Structure formats: C-alpha cells, structure tokens
C-alpha cells in the first residue's frame, strides 16, 4: 500500500470516527436545547468554556499542533526514538506542572474574568457562568494528558484510539447531562459540565493501552537545555501567542453578543457547531492524517512529494466542502428544526439561529483549507509565518465585528468570522507559495471551478426538491426529517454524477478514502 493510500485510509477512518463523534455532539446540543432552550443558562454554559480553553491552548494546544508531532516524527525518522522519549517526558512534565499552577490561579480569578468577558449578563447568569467555569477548569489538566498521548500515537501514524476517545467523550457528556439536567433549575445544566470532565478522563484512559505498543518510555525529568525541548518550546511560542490572541477574538465576540437579546450567544454557538460539522469531520481528519507524513517528508527533504501531498489535501477538502456549504445554505432551516427544535427551543429560535448559520456557512471551505495550510508550515518547522498572518486575519475579523454587529446583529458577528477565515486562507496560500516556489495552483483552481459548477447545479435541484416536498409534508419534525434526508440523498447523487462526468480526480480520491475501488479516468 502506497503512502498516499495509507493516508487516505487513515483519513477515511478519522472521518467516520469524527462523524460519529459530531453526531453525538449534536445529540448533546439537541438535548440541551430541549431542556433549556435558548436562554441565559445556555449562554452561561457556552461562556464557561472560554477560560478553560484559553488555558489549554495557551500551554498545550500550540505545542501539540505545531511542534510536538514534527519534532517527535523527526526523532523517529532518524532512528533516535530513545532520545525522543526523553524530550517527550520533559515536555509532558513542564506542561502538566505549569497547567496545574495556572488552573489554581484561574479558579481564584474566575469572577473577575467573567465580569470582563460578559458584562451584559444579568448578575444571576454571571454567577452561573462562574460556577460552570470552575467545574470546567478541571478539564484542561486531563486534556493535556490525552492530547499528548494523541500526539505520540499520531507521530507513529496510529490514529484510531484518539478518535474513539472523542466518541466516548461526547457520550459521557450526553449521559451525565441527561441524568442530572432539569429544565426547571438553571444550575442543573452543570450536569453537562461534569460530563465534560468525566468525558476527558475517559478520552485519556482509552488511549493509554496503546502507548505500551509503541514502546512508551517515561523519564521523570525536566531538561530545558535539551536541544529537542528547546526546539519544541521555540516552535510553540508563536502558536501560543496566536491562540491567546484568538481567545481575545472570542472575548470580543462574547462581549458584543452579551449586549444583544438574551440567547443571541447561544444562537451563534449552535450555528457555529453546525458550521464546524463538515470542517471537523472532513478537513480536520485529512489534516490530522497528512500531518505526520508532511513532517516526515520535510525531514527527508522530499520537496516534490511534499507539494503533491499538500495539493492533494487542499483539492480534496475543496471537493468535499463546496457542496456541503451549498447544501447547508439551502437546507439550513430543516437542519436546525431536526437537530434543535423541540421542548424549550421553538420555531422562532430556529429562525434566529438560521441567520448566523447562513453567514458561517459561506466560510466553510476557507475554514477547511485552514486545517491544511498551517500544518505545511509546521511540518517545515516554521511557526512564525502562519501566526503573523493569523494575527492580520484576526484583526480583520475583529474590525468587522464592530462594524457588522450594528447592521446585522448576531449575524454580523458570524459574518465577521467568515471574513477573517477567507483573509487567513488567502494569506497562508500566498505565503506558502512564495516559500515553496509553487503550489500546484492551476490544478487547485480547476478543482475549485469544477466543484462550484457541480455544487451550484446540485443546489438548484435540491432547492426545487426541498420546496416541492416541503409543501407536501410540512415543517414539523417528521416533515423536516423527510425534507432533509431526501434532499441530502438527492444532493449527494447529483453531485457525484456531475463530478464523475467531469472526470474529477478528487472523486476517485474520495472513493479511495471510503474504501471503494475506482478506475482511473
């Protein structure tokens, strides 16, 4: 089996696992919507994630996404695994101890942070957000262990334990939320928060047995002078800065959203979750699958294969996400009805949530490509360039928020995120092309044109079908399920037929990823 085939197989598995995980995530969101609707309690719950996420990305996320895998892959490729394990041990110990210290400080300062984060909240909602934040602050410490474990296994191109862990993570949240939540008591939403912490533990534990299979060797050391540790810390520094600044963007979004009608932040959150569905299932899976290979190819100076891998990944996410984006625009109302409209979440809430979803959906492909391009820089052990470009894109997004929220309300906040993603993608592509000399731009452009042609034709047919069948079955829960499912099937068939008729290589790549044999065009 070739390297490309192995990557496609790994990506296909990750997509399947991500699909299950995301499905459970929407079961979780649907359960919460039915119990608590779109209220101050759900706003408080979503706000409570900001500080824990900030700490995680401050110390862990940047290390894992930009430095850990490339450096460990380099030691593995050069047959120096024992030395690599010493580096891993030092990094684990540094991050774990630092994070424990910061979590204690954050527990103390949570009230001040929440007051700064959401000044528009009522006193009751602020107190609930403080309570939930302190529960969720336990999560980053556990996620550090599971994240590092995932990084180690991915460096050895073992992906499925961490994928299974994410499925069990969401399942744990659903179980705990279902058991403890009570729609009459806002504080009972904490059942979901406790489920997050328990899910993080389960996520870590399911991966541990596979560390022994790759020959885990742990050393109780902290060696700041080791060249490998220095390299990881230096490569991580710009990513840490970037993720910290990204949280500033989240703070601005929440700050502006807290001054809008109650539930506006929840509408943004639910629509953002829907928008992230194709990005998380398809683009992230492809990015995770190709990253170790990119790191290995960069170490071995195989420039041609490196370019082919990047081009293939970009063309594949374009081919997959363009039709998904068009389909979500056309079917956004029945999609929200099926997933969220029950219990306390009514038809008006559906209409309100569909507004930011429309604007988010316009940026799906840009967000998907952003899952690929920075990893090319990280594999080349250049982390400053994508971070600098990310800061520029973030500034564009924040400036857009202040302008657009005046005219489009919570929809403007969503559109600002999309604008930032498009700017970020464009800058990354230009910079990587200058660094590598070429980027297979012609093939990527042809894929974009063909994918848009097939997707717009598909969208027109799906729109007509959904409008026709909707008149027959209505807009209730069952009717929306029929509209959504039948339209999705028709859309997939139409897009597949058109793309195959146009002899798109990406169609065959997708079939390979799904484990289907295809003949070359």
Residue 288 belongs to what H/E stretch?
Answer: helix 284-299
Question: CA 466 to CA 327: how far, in whole Å?
Answer: 11
How large is the average pLDDT for residues 495-511?
Answer: 86
Burial label, 213 (beta-carbon count in 10 A; 0-12, 13-18, 19+): exposed
State the SS3 of 402-452. Answer: HHHHHHHCHHHHHHHHHHHHHHHHHHHHHHHHHHHCCCCHHHHHHHHHHHH
pLDDT of 519 over the 50 cut: no
pLDDT of 47 over the 90 cut: no
Q: Which of 80-89, 146-155, 201-210, 239-248 has the highest mean predicted lDDT (pLDDT)?
A: 201-210
φ, ψ at 346 (rounded to 5°): -105, -175
Give per-residue pLDDT as tens, 408-449.
888 888 899 999 999 999 999 999 988 887 887 888 999 999
> Taking all residues of the chain, what is their mean pLDDT, rounded to a whole number?
83
pLDDT of 65 over the 80 cut: no
Q: Which residues contact 332 (CB under 8 A, 6 or more apart)?
A: 274, 354, 357, 358, 361
Question: CA 433 to CA 393: how far, in whole Å?
Answer: 18
Q: Which of 9-18, 32-41, 296-305 has the lowest mean pLDDT?
A: 9-18
CB 164 within 8 A of CB 223: no
pLDDT of 144 over the 50 cut: yes
What pLDDT does residue 518 have?
46
What pLDDT does residue 520 have?
39
CB 229 within 8 A of CB 90: yes
What pLDDT does residue 464 have?
94
Q: Which of 3-12, 70-79, 342-351 has the highest mean predicted lDDT (pLDDT)?
A: 342-351
Q: Which of 209-223, 241-255, 384-398 has the lowest mean pLDDT?
A: 241-255
List C-alpha distances in Å: 114 to 55, 129, 255, 323: 15, 7, 10, 39
Closest-CA residue to 274 (of 87, 26, 18): 26
Whole-structure pTM value: 0.71
What pLDDT does residue 375 have?
85
Question: Bigger pLDDT: 183 or 272?
Answer: 272
Burial label, 345 (beta-carbon count in 10 A; 0-12, 13-18, 19+): buried
Question: CA 230 to CA 84: how far, in whole Å?
Answer: 13
Residue 37 belongs to what H/E stretch?
Answer: none
How large is the average pLDDT for residues 254-274?
Answer: 77
The backbone region for 396, taken as left when phi is positive above 0, alpha when psi lies in -120 to 50, beta otherwise, is alpha
How large is the average pLDDT for residues 120-124?
Answer: 82
User: Using the 8-state DSSP alphabet, how is residue 281 labeled?
Assistant: I
Q: Which of 179-188, 222-231, 299-308 has the lowest mean pLDDT?
A: 179-188
pLDDT of 490 over the 60 cut: yes
521 pLDDT tier (thresholds 50, 70, 90): very low
pLDDT of 515 over the 70 cut: no
φ, ψ at 320 (rounded to 5°): -85, -40
């Amino acid at each position: 089996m070739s390297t490309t085939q192995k990557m496609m197989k790994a990506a296909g598995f990750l997509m399947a696992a991500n699909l299950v995980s995301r499905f459970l995530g929407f079961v979780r969101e649907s359960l919460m919507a039915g119990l608590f609707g779109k209220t101050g309690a759900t706003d408080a719950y979503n706000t409570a994630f900001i500080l824990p996420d900030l700490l995680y990305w401050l110390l862990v996320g940047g290390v894992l996404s930009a430095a850990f895998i490339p450096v460990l892959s380099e030691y593995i490729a050069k047959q120096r695994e024992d030395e690599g394990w010493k580096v891993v041990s030092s990094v684990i110990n540094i991050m774990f101890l630092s994070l424990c210290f910061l979590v204690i400080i954050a527990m103390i300062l949570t009230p001040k942070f929440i007051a700064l984060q959401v000044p528009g909240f009522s006193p009751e909602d602020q107190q609930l957000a403080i309570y939930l934040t302190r529960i969720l602050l336990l999560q980053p410490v556990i996620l550090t262990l599971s994240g590092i474990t995932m990084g180690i296994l991915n460096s050895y191109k073992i992906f499925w334990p961490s994928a299974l862990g994410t499925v069990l993570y969401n399942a744990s949240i659903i179980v705990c939320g279902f058991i403890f939540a009570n729609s009459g008591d806002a504080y009972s939403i904490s059942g979901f928060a406790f489920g997050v912490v328990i899910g993080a533990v389960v996520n870590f534990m399911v991966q541990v047995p596979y560390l022994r299979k790759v020959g885990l060797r742990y050393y109780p050391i902290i060696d700041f002078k080791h060249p490998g540790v220095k390299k990881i810390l230096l490569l991580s520094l710009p990513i840490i800065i970037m993720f910290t600044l990204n949280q500033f963007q989240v703070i601005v979004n929440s700050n502006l959203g807290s001054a809008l009608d109650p539930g506006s932040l929840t509408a943004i959150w639910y629509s953002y979750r829907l928008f992230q569905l194709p990005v998380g299932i398809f683009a992230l899976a492809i990015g995770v699958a190709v990253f170790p290979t990119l790191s290995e190819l960069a170490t071995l100076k195989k420039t041609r294969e490196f370019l082919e891998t990047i081009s293939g990944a970009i063309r594949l996410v374009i081919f997959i996400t363009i039709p998904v984006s068009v389909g979500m625009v056309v079917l956004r109302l029945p999609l929200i009805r099926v997933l969220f409209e029950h219990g306390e979440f009514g038809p008006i809430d559906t209409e309100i949530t569909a507004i930011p979803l429309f604007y988010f959906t316009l940026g799906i492909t840009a967000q998907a490509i952003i899952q690929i391009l920075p990893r090319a820089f990280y594999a080349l052990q250049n982390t400053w360039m994508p971070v600098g470009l990310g800061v520029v894109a973030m500034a564009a997004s924040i400036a857009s928020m202040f302008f657009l929220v005046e005219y489009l309300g919570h929809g403007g906040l969503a559109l600002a995120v999309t604008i930032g993603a498009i700017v970020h993608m464009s800058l990354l592509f230009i910079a990587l092309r200058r660094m590598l000399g070429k980027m297979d731009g012609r093939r990527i452009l042809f894929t974009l044109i063909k994918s848009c042609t097939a997707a717009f034709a598909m969208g027109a047919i799906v729109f007509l079908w959904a409008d026709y069948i909707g008149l027959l079955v209505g807009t209730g829960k069952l009717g929306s399920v029929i509209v959504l499912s039948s339209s999705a099937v028709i859309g997939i068939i139409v897009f597949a037929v058109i793309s195959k008729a146009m002899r798109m290589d990406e169609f065959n790549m997708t079939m390979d990823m799904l484990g289907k044999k295809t003949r070359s065009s």
